[in-house]
Structure 1
Amino acid sequence: MGIIASYLMPHPPIMIEEIGGDETEKVLKTVEAACFVGMEIEHFSPDSIVLISPHGPVFQDAIFIYDFPLKGDFAAFGAPHVKLEFEQDEELKKEIIKKANEKNVPAVKSTEIPLKKYGVKEELDHGAMVPLYFVSKYAKNFKLVIMSFGLLPYEDLYKFGTAIKEAAEITGKKVVVIASGDLSHRLTPDAPAGYSPKGKIFDEKLVKCLENFDIEGLYSMENSLIEKAGECGLRSIWIMMGSLDGIRVESKVLSYEGPFGVGYCVARFLPLGEGESKLEKLYDKRRQNIIKRREKEDPYVSLARKTLETYVKTGKIIEVPEGLPEEMLTQRAGVFVSIKKHGQLRGCIGTIFPTRKNIAEEIIQNAISAGCEDPRFFPVEPEELPELTYSVDVLMPPQKVNSKEELDPKKYGVIVRKGRRTGLLLPDLEGIDTVEEQLEIALRKAGISPHEEYEIERFEVIRHY
């Protein structure tokens, strides 16, 4: 057999009448759609359900597989008497991990992690409990595999989904996949995560992609839009979609609403037969995007990239090359070099004021520091180099400001100072739209409390991509 159906289900506990009471009426469309899913799964009579939750332990570099007893309750939401317990599908779980390892997508079981060290309880989270509440109202005789996504690139999450598909086929089981996740948490001014106009745009685009099972459309969504939406379901969706790779799919959005400023979507995806695999196309798009970006590099970015590549491969610091623009050889300035991998920060180090005799030497020094000395990350490895993208910010001299009204996070970077404590944030960063957000992060980096008195400076940059 294999994957017989897949679903997207939201997980607000208020959907459950024992928790929400009268408030549950405000999500009636979602509740009705979730009940339909439960009844349909009962009709399909699966051997096992694979569920991806956004609210389990999330690691930067691996999928986390629940290996503890699959039970829990809603005590945290005032309903301790509502309890669920399920049987693990050990065979399917073992095969999923095996196939994932073969595909070089790291997957770890909870028994391999010291959960107590991270303050993680061995019980089901509400990201799993809420969808399973509605499923288990109708379907009874199934085993379960639960996981939380990792902060891996979307392509790798999709590839992990193909491991689920292959494991289901190898074990001969009828398997249903459920992606647990809410959409934007920022739809209205009273939303729990605050308001962003990007929230509605994100939800509209995502719902359209789900209606059409449009993987390419999903892949083309801008990182800035995703960041500002404040969603929690996208990575679950990527794994679920990967579980249907190479299959023609009948897709249907069963409901969508956002009464509490959070988007709740229930959608169904039924296999129709063999189709076209999208996996290699996704990886090819990633490669092509990097190639196109490097073709457009200016001398500042090219110097940063070549510096780090040479240093990582040989351990040698390159000499200032010939043919650079005159200003790189004659002018002095502070420089920040930022490195990203698959859209995620991989390193960022810089100097507020010049420390070298020209901008070119400043870039060389800071490119090595960003790639190998940023304390937040391990040093860049040679095999990572083809996946990295770079930007270089040349700083203008900072100016003191007397009030927050003189700041603009799109135009100015900010420096906060209190004695020897200093925090800096570059301008025009993805996901940072307000002065308050900019100052909050800069203060946190400096270890300065917002209630302390501190000095503020602003600066402009010339950014090179």
Structure 2
Amino acid sequence: MSVVFGGIMPHPPIALPEVGGAEADKVMDSRQAMLDLGQRIKQSGAEILVLISPHAPVFGDGIAINISPQTRGNMGQFGAAQVSFTCRYDPKLGTEIGWQAEELGIPVIDLDEQIARQTGINLQLDHGMMVPLYFLRQAGVELPLVPCSMGIFSPEKLYSFGVAVQRAAEALGSKVAVVASGDLSHRLTPDAPAGFDPRGKEFDQKIVALIKSLDVTGLINLDEDLCERAGECGLRPIIMMLGALDGLAVKSEVLAYEGPFGVGYMVAALEPTGRDQTRRLLASLQQERKQKLAQLRAKESYLVRVARQSLTSYLEGHWKDPASYDVPEEFARGAGAFVSLKKNGHLRGCIGTTAPTRANVVQEVAYNAVSAGTEDPRFYPVRLDELDELTISVDVLMPPEPIDGVDQLDVKKYGVIVRRGARSGLLLPDLEGIDTPEQQVAVAKQKAGIGPDEPVQLERFEVVRYH
């Protein structure tokens, strides 16, 4: 036995009449489609449900599985505490998934009460689980559950986790249904919860078309800027679910798509019909990833190469002396510099200096790269095995100049420094999610521990950004 069903379900709480009341009827197509999907899971003979949610506790260094013997949840957060479920965990499948994932190089974190206390996370089922379970139970599906979080990994690693689910099902001889919980763009209309972006609709159209044609490679290679601008939360769970169908012939059908509240909701059923060796994609996806990384490394600027080499040598235990790097003439001066690390589009560390603290820009970058990777208090230190997944950028700061007010700021061109007494905060220019000078100043104040209504001195600066 193996994976006998794959599904995609949205998770709008408003779709529950107990939450949305009459508004729930505006997503009637989705509600009916989710009931249909539940009936199909029943007909598949599935014995266990693996449910992947983007709103379960997410870790930067692993995919989490809630291993509580019984998991509970309710919709009290949305005013409907009477909607509550208790699900029985399937320990055999959960443990086997962990083993198979580790074999594929995907760390799995077993979430239990001890880890919950240590990290302050909540083991209750989140709404990304509760909404799909509501409709599955209405359709008569009450299966043992393996609740999984999405991972913040590269797409082929997310796909690998799905492959691990399939291998675990085969090892145990279990019939498993895998459902990805996720909404599409949250930016379809001007009144959408995450604001409006015209590319939101483009993203949703592409996802629907790619699922209909079961184009896994197309999904994995979606333009990163398009995905970021869409403001979605479903792509990673979908890719994880698709990995569970690796090497299988699949009938893929989109049962519904709509977006009445500015958020895209898609329901899709992916039903295996047999084996198909041409759809064994993991090895080719891994090879494509290696080639893409090699191409990116070849294009890295000198300062980015310095940052990468400095951090790599430090993590390997033989840190290269920052004074030993060649110093091109353009970087011989002193200047403040910030090093930013991103992992699969998500910030992984960013630390810098607002004024020169070293002999030249090259040394500034070498020191700050190590700080960004190991001392940013917002993140755990970067591990050596993460380095290949990191993209690095370096911002070299020009001297700041005082300004009289926010009307002299341009978030794309200028960074900002706010000062009040001994407190100061800095925000770089051209950052995702910072669209107005007022936002820019507010975030800089927050970083400095300055109250939103406290007056500050403002300075602006330009940067030269290196990739």
Q: TM-score higher than 0.5 here?
A: yes
Residues paired across the two proteins, number? 463
Could you report, residue by residue, the CA deviation over 1:201-235 in whole angstroms, capped at 9, with x for unpaired residues?
Answer: 32222222222222222222233332332222222
8 Å CA contact 2:310–2:319 kept in 1: the answer is no
- CA 1:201–1:392: 2 relative to 1, 3 Å: same
Q: Does 1:91 align with 2:92?
A: yes
- CA 1:376–1:121: 2 relative to 1, 3 Å: closer
Q: Mean Cα displacement is larger for which, 40-49 or 372-381?
A: 372-381
Could you report, residue by residue, the CA deviation over 1:386-415 in whole angstroms, capped at 9, with x for unpaired residues?
Answer: 443322222111122222222222111121
8 Å CA contact 2:189–2:196 kept in 1: the answer is yes
User: Separation in 1 of the partners of 2:64 and 2:49?
Assistant: 16
After superposition, residues 126-141 of structure 1 pair within 5 angstroms as 126-140=127-141
After superposition, residues 222-371 of structure 1 pair within 5 angstroms as 222-272=223-273, 273-275=275-277, 276-313=279-316, 314-322=318-326, 324-329=327-332, 331-371=333-373
> Where do 4+ consecutive residues of structure 1 move more than 6 Å?
none
In structure 1, stretches of 5+ residues that fail to align are none
Q: Mean Cα displacement is larger for which, 29-38 or 181-190?
A: 181-190
Q: Mean Cα displacement is larger for which, 335-344 or 116-125?
A: 116-125
Secondary structure of the residue that 2:112 maps to in structure 1? Answer: helix
8 Å CA contact 2:5–2:46 kept in 1: the answer is no
| Post-superposition offset of 1:459 | 1.0
User: Separation in 2 of the partners of 1:463 and 1:95?
Assistant: 45
Q: Mean Cα displacement is larger for which, 267-276 or 77-86?
A: 77-86
| Post-superposition offset of 1:317 | 0.9
Give, as a single letter, the amino acid of the residue that structure 2 aligns with 1:52.
I
Could you report, residue by residue, the CA deviation over 1:119-178 in whole angstroms, capped at 9, with x for unpaired residues?
Answer: 545433222121122112223463222222233333322111111111111121221111
- CA 1:237–1:390: 2 relative to 1, 3 Å: same
User: Separation in 1 of the partners of 2:281 and 2:8?
Assistant: 20
Secondary structure of the residue that 1:393 maps to in structure 2? Answer: strand
Give, as a single letter, the amino acid of the residue that structure 1 aligns with 2:339.
V
Could you report, residue by residue, the CA deviation over 1:349-369 in whole angstroms, capped at 9, with x for unpaired residues?
Answer: 222222233323323332333
Secondary structure of the residue that 1:179 maps to in structure 2? Answer: strand
8 Å CA contact 1:45–1:141 kept in 2: the answer is no
- CA 1:200–1:403: 2 relative to 1, 3 Å: farther
Match of 2:102 in 1: 101
8 Å CA contact 2:64–2:111 kept in 1: the answer is yes
8 Å CA contact 1:45–1:139 kept in 2: the answer is no
Q: Does 1:54 align with 2:54?
A: yes
- CA 1:94–1:256: 2 relative to 1, 3 Å: same
8 Å CA contact 2:417–2:460 kept in 1: the answer is yes
Match of 2:24 in 1: 24
- CA 1:439–1:75: 2 relative to 1, 3 Å: same
The alignment-based identity, stated in percent, is 49
Secondary structure of the residue that 1:268 maps to in structure 2? Answer: strand
- CA 1:416–1:91: 2 relative to 1, 3 Å: same
| Post-superposition offset of 1:88 | 2.8
8 Å CA contact 2:322–2:367 kept in 1: the answer is no
8 Å CA contact 1:224–1:430 kept in 2: the answer is no
User: Separation in 2 of the partners of 1:23 and 1:358?
Assistant: 61
| Post-superposition offset of 1:264 | 0.8
Match of 1:207 in 2: 208
Secondary structure of the residue that 2:18 maps to in structure 1? Answer: helix
- CA 1:201–1:140: 2 relative to 1, 3 Å: closer
User: Separation in 1 of the partners of 2:225 and 2:323?
Assistant: 36
Match of 1:459 in 2: 461
User: Separation in 1 of the partners of 2:90 and 2:358?
Assistant: 60
Give, as a single letter, the amino acid of the residue that structure 2 aligns with 1:414.
V
Could you report, residue by residue, the CA deviation over 1:294-344 in whole angstroms, capped at 9, with x for unpaired residues?
Answer: 21233332333333334443134143444x532222x33222222334433
8 Å CA contact 2:399–2:461 kept in 1: the answer is yes
| Post-superposition offset of 1:118 | 4.8
Give, as a single letter, the amino acid of the residue that structure 2 aligns with 1:455.
Q
User: Separation in 2 of the partners of 1:100 and 1:385?
Assistant: 20
In structure 2, stretches of 5+ residues that fail to align are none
User: Separation in 1 of the partners of 2:430 and 2:137?
Assistant: 47
Match of 1:183 in 2: 184
Q: Does 1:405 align with 2:399?
A: no
8 Å CA contact 2:6–2:179 kept in 1: the answer is yes
After superposition, residues 7-46 of structure 1 pair within 5 angstroms as 7-46=7-46
User: Separation in 2 of the partners of 1:215 and 1:65?
Assistant: 24
- CA 1:212–1:358: 2 relative to 1, 3 Å: same
Secondary structure of the residue that 2:177 maps to in structure 1? Answer: strand
Secondary structure of the residue that 1:114 maps to in structure 2? Answer: helix
Secondary structure of the residue that 2:358 maps to in structure 1? Answer: coil
User: Separation in 1 of the partners of 2:345 and 2:142?
Assistant: 42
- TM-score (structure 2 length as normaliser): 0.91
